[in-house]
Amino acid sequence: MITLADAMAAATATLQSAGNESPRVDARVLAAHVLGLRANQLASPEAKLSKGQAVAFNEAIRRRATGEPVAYITGHKEFFGLDFAVGPGVLIPRPETETLVEEALKDFPETAPPPRVLDLGTGSGCLLIAFLASRPAATGVAIEESGEALKWCKRNVLRHQFEKRCELNLADWRNGVAGPFDVVFSNPPYVETGHIAALATDVRSFEPLGALDGGPDGLNAYRSLAPVLMAVLAPRGRAYLEIGQGQHHMVTEVMESAGLKVARVVPDLAGIPRCVVVKR
């Protein structure tokens, strides 16, 4: 049997050779996954891996060396302190997306009437579920045009036991959604088509293109979102839209051209404008 230290050394070398930018961190996370532990609970370096554990670890490292995202290999990703099931066919939740939930919670405190929430292009359901977890009286509707992504959303709704508070719809958001809604979330595709090839391998080669490609200027989704927001936002409702770096002026123009108002633009923890808050 091989020791954890030796397995980690070999895995780190393999990932380094594959051009991985964080080989030891990824090896540690994958080792913890195989051992059924959290990354910060990794066993002693002298611990012995069983034959099955060694085989599983080597397979996980092989997959990571091809560029497959760690979250797809482990099958989950943390978002807003909650665990979400993810895999091929769904966008992996990012820390910067938590900004949208934080802003919505500020605008709709627990003392406010229970809001009705809409998540357009829900993907894993992370935005809607994170908000509902913090506002136990709120209810929500998730819209997703990808059947594969909606399967992951359903899995997460069941995991967090929100099936009685969530309605899931396989649909294009442009086909009409019955409002009004107090809170609307959307993390639409916003990468310019010409920039897709420059994305990291684990993004461009594995995550769904439909959740990334925002058209020639990255704004296609916002143009289709604007009339939907006009139709579904409650009089005092707010929409929380994720944007890419440097897009806040252009997205503001798109929204205001449709008759909406941008209440504020909020940066993420890195200081990058990330969330556009829209109202009627």
Cα separation, 202 vs 68, whole angstroms? 5
**Tell me: the pLDDT tens digits for 102-149?**
999 999 999 999 999 999 999 999 999 999 999 999 999 999 999 999
Residue 118, judged by CB atoms within 10 A of its CB (0-12, 13-18, 19+), counts as buried
DSSP 8-class letter at 3: B
Does residue 214 sit in the same domain as residue 144?
A: yes
Does residue 40 sit in the same domain as residue 175?
A: no
Cα separation, 240 vs 250, whole angstroms? 16
Reduced to 3 states (helix: H, G, I; strand: E, B; else coil), residue 225 is helix
Does residue 17 sit in the same domain as residue 88?
A: no
Q: Above 80 in pLDDT, residue 40?
A: no
Q: Which residue has the tokens 């497959």?
A: 68
Whether 71 is covered by a domain: the verdict is no
Whether 187 is covered by a domain: the verdict is yes
Cα separation, 197 vs 199, whole angstroms? 6
Reduced to 3 states (helix: H, G, I; strand: E, B; else coil), residue 53 is helix
Does residue 155 sit in the same domain as residue 20?
A: no
| pLDDT of res. 41 | 72
Cα separation, 194 vs 265, whole angstroms? 26
Cα separation, 70 vs 149, whole angstroms? 18
pLDDT level of residue 38 (50, 70, 90 thresholds): confident
Whether 202 is covered by a domain: the verdict is yes
**Tell me: the pLDDT tens digits for 232-276?**
999 999 999 999 999 999 999 999 999 999 999 999 999 999 999
Whether 203 is covered by a domain: the verdict is yes
Contact 153, 144 (CB under 8 A): yes
Q: Above 70 in pLDDT, residue 39?
A: no
Cα separation, 173 vs 231, whole angstroms? 11
- Domain-terminating residue out of 66, 92, 113: 66
Does residue 47 sit in the same domain as residue 145?
A: no
Does residue 53 sit in the same domain as residue 86?
A: no
- Domain-terminating residue out of 44, 66, 88: 66
Whether 137 is covered by a domain: the verdict is yes
Does residue 194 sit in the same domain as residue 216?
A: yes
Whether 72 is covered by a domain: the verdict is no
**Across residues 170-175, what is the average pLDDT?**
89
Please tell me the total count of domains within the chain: 2
For CA atoms 153, 209, 93, 100, give the dihedral sign. negative
Enclosing domain of residue 14 = 4-66
**Tell me: the pLDDT tens digits for 200-236?**
999 999 999 999 999 999 999 999 999 999 999 999 9
DSSP 8-class letter at 213: B
Contact 179, 171 (CB under 8 A): no
Whether 73 is covered by a domain: the verdict is no
Does residue 59 sit in the same domain as residue 87?
A: no
- Cα 60 to Cα 15, 29, 41, 96, 235, distances in angstroms: 11, 10, 19, 26, 50
Does residue 211 sit in the same domain as residue 160?
A: yes
The DSSP line for 145-190 is: S-HHHHHHHHHHHHHTT-TTTEEEEES-GGG-----EEEEEE----
For position 262, which CATH number holds?
Answer: 3.40.50.150
Cβ neighbors of 74 (< 8 A, separation 6 or more) are 29, 30, 33
| pLDDT of res. 176 | 67
Cα separation, 27 vs 61, whole angstroms? 7
Cα separation, 267 vs 273, whole angstroms? 4
Whether 189 is covered by a domain: the verdict is yes
Does residue 190 sit in the same domain as residue 62?
A: no
- Domain-terminating residue out of 66, 99, 118: 66
Does residue 259 sit in the same domain as residue 125?
A: yes
Cα separation, 172 vs 74, whole angstroms? 30
Find the helix or strand (DSSP H, E) in which 102 lies.
Answer: helix 98-107
Does residue 62 sit in the same domain as residue 84?
A: no
DSSP 8-class letter at 191: B
